[in-house]
Amino acid sequence: MTPDRLAFDLQRTLDELQQERERTQKLQGELDHQSRELDRLRNALHCESNSRLLAEEALDEARDRLQLAVDAAGLALWDWQLPATQVFLTARWGELLGDIAADGYWEAVDLRARLHPDDIEPLRLQVMGLLEGRSQRAVVQHRVRASEGWRWVETHAMVAEHDSKGQPLRLMGTLADIGERKRIEQDGERARELTEQASRAKSEFLANISHEVRTPLNAFMGLTRMLMDSPLNADQSSWLALMDNSAHELLDLLNNLLDLSRIEAGQFDIENVRFDLHQALEQAIVPYAEQADEQALDFRFELPPTLPQWVMGDAVRLRQVLNHLLSNALKFTPRGGRIEVRIQPIEACGQAPKRLQLQVRDSGVGIAREHHATVFDAFTQADASTARPYGGSGLGLAICAQLARLMGGEIELQSDPGEGSTFTLTLPLRELDQSPLSASAELQEVAQAGARYVGLVVLLAEDHPVNELMMRQLLLRLGCIVRVARGGVHAIAQWEQGGIDLVLMDVQMPGMSGLQATHEIRDIEARRKLPRTPIVAVTANAMPGDRDACLAAGMDGYTAKPVSPQALIKEMDRVLKLDDGQDAPEEAPAAPEPPPPQTPAQPSMAMPAALSSERAAAAHLEALDVEKLLRRLDGDEETLGQLAQAMRADLASRQSELHKALQARDSAAAVAHAHGLKGSLGSMTAERGARLAKGLELAARSGDWHLFARALPLMQAEARQIDRALADILQARGRDLFDTRL
């Protein structure tokens, strides 16, 4: 081999060795990288393992805490995998039932069998809400049958899983024993009942004491007045004046006690009738303005021009609140001070109703702020010390606050010592768009309405002869054909004969009431697929809620007795769709019309001369408003005589029945006859008598026979006056007939 060849081979070998060395170095680098990566992965796996262990330890700790909380709360856990028929329950469920305490599956039908029958439906509705997707959580209290009897439990449920369509796949929740909670609630309810009974007993006691004291007090006051009219020297006159003032103060205290007891006993009724707001305010305020003048006080009062004239509400209670506020202002304002009465209607803002605001401001002694919270509490005064110079029982403001609440309003106080006081009374203002019609305008409205009622067949369901005569006369004046039904059963029979366009239904009738008769008529219409006959309630039931009860029974309209022709026409138009689609008024049911203003030069209607002159001379005829009654009858003196005769017979019969009901303590009979008397007297314009009859009805409904026995003689005395007025009507009519025949 030549040297050149040998050198070439050696160089190639060296090159190959170099390349091999480079490959080896590269492989070594790769090995080093893989080794480092392996170390990193090993470290990562080690950390992951540690994290998993830590997570498992944290999960175990949370599970232990949850189990401790569940055990501490005494909860049973349950799990329902849908659509399985078994529900998993923890051991606590068995403990609640007095059964084996072990986790396990229960058949849904067995769980349902343990439910109290009254609780099955409420629980089913909650579960269906979850299954149908209407709710995601539910809570329901129910009873389950345990070894010792029924046990109250509270079940919480939630949807834990959904499928791809959002339908529930799994329900989970808890179940807890709430027997102790229910026992505490029942004990609390029993305590509240006992407290209410004690309050009622206290109120009844106060009412009875007030009545018992009022009787001798009235005699004392009467005798005092009689002595004051006899010859006396100066000292005797002064002593009697002091006695009279003291007696009046005692009477005011008794009246306040009686009012407060009736309010607390829930026996205090708030009227909702139409009245003249201007007149009511003036009657309440003017007497105090005169007293303020005697005490050298600056008294300011003005009715704003924006104040509505006719409103719905309780004028008597409004005056009562103002009387208390003004009496306090006079009492606590020194001579030379100022009293101001501010009255303003507050316009509605958004959906808020219109309000009436009355403020009584004085510059008197004022009330410290720490006493503001209790000044409206009964038997509480700002200065409770025995040396207080002003006296008083602390009942007036408590009654004001209660009356304001009952009328749907509120009363507030702003005052500081030495700065005077401002009491603000805020009440709902239910304004009437139209003032009462005059007699001639009312008759003209009836005459105009008659054209659209000619030939209308009206079924009059009325069991009282006086009310029947009044209503039939009005309907005949409107051109209606009148059919009469005495009682609910007769009304249904008459209606089933067909041809009835409208039913005027009394509510309280013997046998079957008007509500029951209406319900029966509506059932017959539905079964036979008959057209609906409009039914309007014509009832003396004019308390809050009575209108709703009539409409709920299926009636279409409502008007209160004594019936106002305008109110009845308006309601008939509405239910017969003769009012051009106008909506029914939202204010309270129409009340009896107040007497319209009349002047001697323009009498509302011609009357028999003998009757007119005798009425002016006979005080007992004030028990009956003959002018208004004649106006209602369109001057029909023949019907007036029939009504007078029927009313005299009804008065005698009802008084006898009321006396029998009192002797037998028969609440149902007493309520029925007092209610009937209230309606007939109201129709006859005997308003005082109607109010007394209403008092008898309320006393009978509440079972207060002591009050009933006190009120019955008053009703009998008023009935004698009414009977004399009716007798004079008949006598005057007899003379007129005799003169006519001559």
Q: Is the pLDDT score of 582 beyond 60?
A: no
pLDDT digits (tens, 9 = 90+) for 687-732: 888 878 887 888 888 788 887 887 888 888 888 888 888 888 888 7
pLDDT digits (tens, 9 = 90+) for 528-559: 999 999 999 988 765 556 788 899 999 999 88
Mean pLDDT, rounded, for 309-324: 87
Mean pLDDT, rounded, for 284-307: 87
pLDDT at residue number 610: 36
Q: Please, which residues have CB within 8 angstroms of residue 702's CB and are 6 or more apart in sequence?
A: 267
Q: Are residues 417 and 278 in the same domain?
A: yes
User: Range with the lowest mean pLDDT among 14-23, 199-208, 372-381, 578-587?
Assistant: 578-587
Other CB atoms within 10 A of residue 596 CB: 17
Pick from 264, 299, 314: which residue ends a domain? 264
Band (394; pLDDT cuts 50, 70, 90): low
Q: Are residues 286 and 219 in the same domain?
A: no
Domain that includes residue 657, residue range: 615-741
Band (602; pLDDT cuts 50, 70, 90): very low
Sheet holding 273-276, edge to edge: 273-276, 310-313, 430-431
Band (384; pLDDT cuts 50, 70, 90): very low
Q: Is the pLDDT score of 461 beyond 90?
A: yes
Q: Are residues 10 and 27 in the same domain?
A: yes
Query: Which CATH number belongs to the domain containing residue 519 in this structure?
Result: 3.40.50.2300
Band (520; pLDDT cuts 50, 70, 90): very high
Q: Are residues 627 and 649 in the same domain?
A: yes
Pick from 229, 264, 299: which residue ends a domain? 264
Q: Is the pLDDT score of 569 beyond 70?
A: yes
pLDDT at residue number 522: 94
Query: Which CATH number belongs to the domain containing residue 372 in this structure?
Result: 3.30.565.10
Mean pLDDT, rounded, for 23-46: 77
pLDDT at residue number 143: 93
Residues 394 and 410: their CA atoms lie apart, in Å, by: 19
Q: Which H or E element spans position 654?
A: helix 637-664
Q: Please, which residues have CB within 8 angstroms of residue 45's CB and are 6 or more apart in sequence?
A: none
Is residue 59 in some structural domain? yes
pLDDT at residue number 613: 36
Q: Please, which residues have CB within 8 angstroms of residue 656's CB and are 6 or more apart in sequence?
A: none
Residues 466 and 654: their CA atoms lie apart, in Å, by: 13
Q: Which residue has the higher pLDDT, 645 or 248?
A: 645
Count: domains in the chain: 6
Q: Are residues 1 and 119 in the same domain?
A: no
Q: Of the ranges 42-51, 148-157, 280-289, 469-478, which is most confident?
A: 148-157
Q: Is the pLDDT score of 379 beyond 60?
A: no
pLDDT at residue number 502: 94
Q: Of the ranges 175-179, 678-682, 698-702, which is most confident?
A: 175-179
Band (158; pLDDT cuts 50, 70, 90): very high
Q: Are residues 324 and 226 in the same domain?
A: no
Q: Is the pLDDT score of 517 beyond 60?
A: yes
Strand partners, 142: 153
| Averaged pLDDT of the chain | 78
pLDDT at residue number 392: 52
Is residue 581 in some structural domain? no
Query: Which CATH number belongs to the domain containing residue 687 in this structure?
Result: 1.20.120.160
Q: Are residues 356 and 395 in the same domain?
A: yes
Q: Is the pLDDT score of 49 beyond 90?
A: no
Which residue spans within 322-416 are E strands per DSSP? 338-346, 355-362, 410-415
Mean pLDDT, rounded, for 259-274: 70
Q: Is the pLDDT score of 679 beyond 50?
A: yes
Mean pLDDT, rounded, for 297-301: 90
Q: Give the tokens for residue 480.
A: 């209606």
Band (442; pLDDT cuts 50, 70, 90): low
Is residue 608 in some structural domain? no
Give DSSP secondary structure letters for 12-73: HHHHHHHHHHHHHHHHHHHHHHHHHHHHHHHHHHHHHHHHHHHHHHHHHHHHHHHHHHHHHH
Query: Which CATH number belongs to the domain containing residue 194 in this structure?
Result: 1.10.287.130
Q: Residue 450 gets which letter from DSSP?
A: H
CB-CB contact of 524 with 516 (8 Å): no
Q: Is the pLDDT score of 221 beyond 80?
A: no
pLDDT digits (tens, 9 = 90+) for 417-426: 888 899 999 9
CB-CB contact of 415 with 366 (8 Å): yes
Q: Which residue has the higher pLDDT, 63 or 584?
A: 63
Q: Is the pLDDT score of 162 beyond 80?
A: yes
User: Range with the lowest mean pLDDT among 55-69, 189-203, 421-435, 596-610?
Assistant: 596-610
pLDDT at residue number 171: 92
Q: Are residues 419 and 280 in the same domain?
A: yes
Pick from 404, 431, 458: which residue ends a domain? 431
CB-CB contact of 547 with 559 (8 Å): no
Q: Are residues 420 and 463 in the same domain?
A: no
Q: Are residues 221 and 165 in the same domain?
A: no
**Helix/strand/coil for 299:** strand
pLDDT at residue number 596: 39
pLDDT at residue number 740: 44
Mean pLDDT, rounded, for 231-247: 82
Q: Is the pLDDT score of 590 beyond 50?
A: no
Q: Are residues 693 and 723 in the same domain?
A: yes
Is residue 110 in some structural domain? yes
Which residue spans within 120-249 are E strands per DSSP? 137-146, 149-162, 168-177
Is residue 570 in some structural domain? yes
Identify the burial level of 177 via C-beta atoms within 10 angstroms of its C-beta, where 0-12 means exposed, 13-18 middle and 19 or more buried: buried
Closest CA to 87 of 109, 67, 70: 109
Q: Is the pLDDT score of 396 beyond 70?
A: yes
pLDDT at residue number 116: 93
Where do we find the tokens 């509480």?
380
CB-CB contact of 706 with 627 (8 Å): no
Is residue 444 in some structural domain? no
- Please give the C-alpha separations between residue 478 and each of 296, 349, 580, 644, in angstroms, as whole numbers: 59, 42, 19, 23
Q: Give the tokens for residue 173.
A: 């929740």
Is residue 640 in some structural domain? yes
Band (387; pLDDT cuts 50, 70, 90): very low
CB-CB contact of 74 with 180 (8 Å): no
Q: Are residues 484 and 622 in the same domain?
A: no
Q: Which residue has the higher pLDDT, 720 or 597?
A: 720
Q: Is the pLDDT score of 438 beyond 70?
A: no
Is residue 580 in some structural domain? no
Rg (CA), the chain: 42
Q: Give the tokens for residue 399.
A: 């009654």
pLDDT digits (tens, 9 = 90+) for 89-143: 988 888 888 887 788 899 989 899 999 999 999 999 998 988 888 888 999 999 9
Q: Is the pLDDT score of 439 beyond 80?
A: no
End-to-end CA distance of the chain: 187
